[in-house]
Copies of this chain bind each other. A is one copy, B any other.
Amino acid sequence: MSDMTKDVGKEIKRIAKEVYSTITDKKLPSLNMPIRALQNVKYDPKIGYFELVGKNKERTLAASTSRTFAQTLMMMNESKKIVETDDIATKREVYYISKNWGDARFNDQPESDTVMDDIEAMMMINREQLGFIPEEKGGDVAGKLIVMDKDTDTGKEIKIDCTKFGSGAYSVPSSVEHLKFQTDAKFILAIETAGAFQRLVKHNYWKKANCILISMGGVPTRACRRFIRRLADEMKIPVYVFTDGDPYGYLNIYRTLKVGSGNAAHINQYFCVPQAKFLGVTPQDIIDYKLPTHPLKDIDIKRVKDGVKNDPFVQSQKEWQRALDLMVKMKKRVEQQAFAAHSLNYVIDTYLPEKLKNPKTWLP
């Protein structure tokens, strides 16, 4: 059992004791947790992620809250058992476990997910630390990185060398809190599509550029974001992001990776990667590299204009505003694969080396 899990177990006991002693004092027990919503969020570039501004809600035991109150305590108890036995449970499994809780059982998974989010926010830790893991996996890795994991049966350390997987890759597990790293790579390149990742892996691009390649497969999962964040923090290496040049790549994939999202503000501090820089494909790259494009749809243009107007991240970044304005003016989007129009490996021979040498062409 690691120090972290000991602390989680302890903290759950502390909260439970407080509730218990309040009850034995014949008072009504209550649980305190921050409100999780965009209205309770601010963005400061110096902090680097969407932060809670501190509005709290209190759940005091009453006739109307007794069921949720019981569910919260039962789920905390489940977490304690899981971390103490070094096990894991997916969100869906937790929902099924509740079927044994009598009247406190959940009727559907959204109900149990909400209680899980509340506990996360109340304890200000992420649910992976509570032993609750996401359903989805965490991205693919190739290149100059050794990941240290351990064998569940023997507890022995396992070294996973991400230079040794040929055309394949290391698939990041759903929970990454226990992993350790070794690397002398110069940077992490986080890539949107599996296709672009596969080309860079096929040509051992990580060897030439001395880097770590990570395939996000669209909007990165929690595990993928946490993996990149921990790797970048602990190994002190920069993170460059390479997506399609479209509103989805800019405002969903990159924005979520870098600063997090509004409705999960209580966990952004663990899952965002504030040190990330946007390498490309930028709207300016379309002009500089004479790339074939697709027309932007009206709905895309609306999405970009909304972003410029309402997204706290874009509002604080003049360079992003200028880039998005240029995109709206050109009414064009571009894909990572568009470099193939010059030649299949133009992205490896020309585009990535030129961009890496020229940080002025990046976006913050």
Q: How far is the CA of A274 from the CA of B137 in the complex (A)?
A: 28
Q: How many A residues, CB 8 Å from partner? A: 61
| Identity of the chain B residue whose Cβ is nearest the Cβ of A168 in the assembled complex | B173
Q: Do the beta carbons of B92 and A195 come within 8 Å of each other?
A: yes
Interface residue stretch chosen among A96-104, A254-262, A298-306: A96-104
Closest-CB distance, A246 to chain B (whole angstroms)? 13
A119 at the interface (CB under 8 A from B): no
Nearest CB on B from A115, distance (A) = 16
User: With A and B bound together, what is the CA distance between A259 and B217 in angstroms?
Assistant: 27
The number of times this chain is found in the oligomer is: 2
When the two chains form their complex, are residues B151 and A204 in contact, meaning their CB atoms are under 8 A apart?
yes
Q: How far in angstroms is the closest Cβ of chain B from A266?
A: 23
* Interface flag for A135 (CB, 8 Å): yes
Question: Which A residues contact B (CB, under 8 angstroms)?
Answer: 82, 87-90, 92-97, 99-100, 133-137, 140, 147, 149-153, 158, 160, 164-175, 178, 193-195, 198-199, 201-204, 207, 215, 217, 292, 335, 337-341, 344-345
Selected A-B contacts with CB under 8 Å, 22 pairs: A87-B345, A88-B202, A90-B198, A90-B199, A92-B337, A92-B340, A93-B337, A96-B339, A97-B344, A99-B341, A100-B341, A133-B195, A133-B198, A136-B194, A136-B195, A150-B166, A152-B167, A152-B204, A160-B164, A168-B173, A173-B198, A174-B194
Closest A-B pairs by Cβ, 4 of them: A149-B166, A90-B195, A93-B340, A171-B171
Given A87-B345, A88-B199, 7 more pairs with CB closer than 8 A = A90-B198, A90-B199, A96-B335, A133-B195, A133-B198, A135-B195, A173-B201
